[in-house]
Amino acid sequence: MLILFLLSIGYGEILKNFCKHDEFSRKRGESRSLLTYPRKSEWEKIRFAIDWSNVSSYSKAKYKDYLEAAVDYYANSLKVHRFSEPMILDSYDYTTCYLEISELEGQSLEADYVVIMYEENDLSADYAAYSSACAYDDVTNQPVVGVVAMNTAYTDDYDEKTLVGVFTHEFTHALGLSLSDMYYWLKSDGTTYDDSFYYEDENVRDVYVAYLITPKVVEKTRETFGCDSLPGLEFETQGGDGTAFSHWNARIVYNELMNPQVVLADFIYSDLTLAALEDSGWYLPDYSYAQPLLWGADKGCSFHSEKCIVNEEPEFSEFCIDTAASSLCSFDYVNKGYCGLYEFDYIVPSYFSYFYDEYMGGDPFVDYCPIVETTQSCRVPGCVDQDLGEQFCDECRCVEGTYGLSSEYYEFHAACHYIECINGEVIIHVGDEQVECSYTGQFVSIPGYYGNLKCPDIDIICADSPCLKNCYGGKCVNGKCIDNSMNQYDSYNTCEDNGGDNGDDNGDDNGDDTGDDTGDDTGDDNGDDNGDDNGDDNGDDTGDDNGDDNSDPVRIIGYDAEENRISGDWLLRFASISIVLILS
């Protein structure tokens, strides 16, 4: 076996994708500034106002749509007991986190929550974004003013999908999904939870686990996973301040909106997060704005109690060990990628050790479980491989096989194809041909092609996929945006853009929107976008390179080891990462 070292980069670069939602609280100190305004008794859609005084005009034009997508999502999906009087705020006051709010200062704001946008550019920081509430209702303790901060040193490189997700994630923290706020959540009898919102178990999968055990979260968690004995939904317990206990455990809900890291897979805006907001006692969600979670769905109690890898084989389809394949499909068949199985330069903690080689493991935030790390969405235009008959489109999904026009491939590869689900079968279009899959795991030949195609899990590939970019805050129904007008990719091609649209707005928007969103979008438009764009891309890749370029299967990650899971100190001590290719 030959190990070829290909690249060395700082692993800290990966960690800078992480949210540190309480960074602002640390900077200004822990305090709960209070505001007193009377509230109405009935539930009505929440109203927001946005202040951009602390953001450059360039960044405001660039990021405005993405922040407003987050605001619109909650303006549409959440109700509150509205203030019966206008809010009036001042700059540099404790209720505004001592920030300037010149755009809104002194105005009578018909709003229930004020968002203050904040910008910094710090390449030395280990976060891309953070958020904090500045002021709380004096009676209910719910947040009413908050800061959402972006570190443009990193967010400038994010694509549209990621930016919508990052802003919505941070805004969710600012609304109250934060450890420091959970103590003040209100029970049905009007008393606060204090420290009764969580439950600890010292030995689940041989590790310490903490659960959020509020009523609606318990109900939705048990329903999602098909396990009536789950105590609640697992918190992330790794990562220290800013990550632990304010996010869901990525091992359990990998691509859910409130997992602790930016993922290249599509974010799921699930009912689990809406349930947590409902359990705060401050909000009444409209669950029709939630999207179904596929990761671990209906896998039962064993998905939570058993390890991801047993005897060096995956126990569940969400995990992988195949590093020989040139590329693989993500668990939901929406993306292509590779198996993220790494070799660390330290011994993986014993409770997360799944391999004979004690240095091997996957993503630390997924309990070191190896998963398919995504590199290309099948729904976003990219470089087609003509030898595989590829295409990219809204209805395209990923499949695996050894097929090729020029020859059969020795190792499995993944490719994107237009699919149709009809009467329990899947029709897969490969180039000008099509094949039918009757059952999961079936191997079928393709006319004119060498090798075979492996039929995907029919239940998963035919399930509703997450809507692109969360419909910019609109409603997603059966995997389709009611209003899909902002999800066009006419000028967006990851092949031409060499990896992704960085979200650059041309700046023609002067940003004069006051940000006042009344939240009165009913979402009743039944838009008939059928998503039938087959996305034909006649890209010039001949496919002679045997598949994907992103095929480095095993990575070595360096780390100055200290096995402290809770303090998070280890997060900042990763020394280096070297990508290696194993040739046998």
Joined together, the tokens standing for residue 52 give: 């951009």
Residue 476 makes CB contacts below 8 A (sequence gap 6+) with 269, 289, 291, 466, 467, 470, 482
Residue 84 amino acid letter: S
Q: How far apart are CA 16 and CA 129, in angstroms?
A: 9
Contact 333, 395 (CB under 8 A): no
Residues 6+ apart with CB under 8 A from 10: 574, 575, 576, 577
Is 247 labeled as ligand-binding?
A: yes
Annotated catalytic, 170?
yes
Q: Give pairs for 423-430: CB < 8 Å, separation 24+.
A: 424/458, 425/458, 426/455, 426/456, 426/458, 426/461, 426/462, 428/399, 428/453, 429/389, 429/391, 429/534, 430/388, 430/389, 430/403
Q: Per the structure block, which two tokens stand in for 189?
A: 């009898």
Catalytic site residue from 23, 160, 170, 256: 170
User: What's the distance, CA 127 to chain centroid?
Assistant: 15
Give the span between the Cα atoms of 88 and 90, in whole angstroms. Answer: 7
Angle, CA of 158, 160 and 164, to the nearest 5°: 100
Nearest to 460 by CA among 321, 291, 318: 318
Angle at 50 between CA 46 and CA 54, to 5 degrees: 155
Write the DSSP string, 154-179: HHTT--HHHHHHHHHHHHHHHHT-SH
The DSSP result for 399-449, as a single string, is: EEES-BSSS--SS-EEEEEEEEEETTEEEEEETTEEEEE-STT-EEE-TT-
Q: Token pair 């202040």 is at which residue?
A: 51
What is the pairing mode between strands 143-151 and 480-481?
unpaired
173 in a known ligand binding site: yes
The tokens 């902002």 sit on which residue?
486
- CA dihedral 77→82→83→85, nearest 10 degrees, is 110
To the question of whether residue 21 is assigned a binding role by annotation, the answer is: no
Pairing of strands 443-445, 360-361: unpaired
- List, as one string, the DSSP characters of 186-241: BPTTS-B-TT-SEEEEEEETTEEEEEE--HHHHHHHHHHHT-TT--SEEBP--S-T
Where are the strands (E) in 22-142, listed by range?
33-35, 39-45, 48-54, 78-83, 113-120, 129-137
Q: Which amino acid is at 185?
A: W
Instruction: Identify the bridge partners of residue 268 per DSSP, sorted by sequence position.
Output: 256
Strand-strand pairing, 33-35 and 129-137? parallel
Q: From the CB of residue 34, how many other CB atoms can be counted at a distance below 10 Å?
A: 14
The residues annotated with a catalytic role in the active site are 170
* Numbered residues of the known binding site for Zn(2+): 169, 173, 247
* Numbered residues of the known binding site: 169, 173, 247
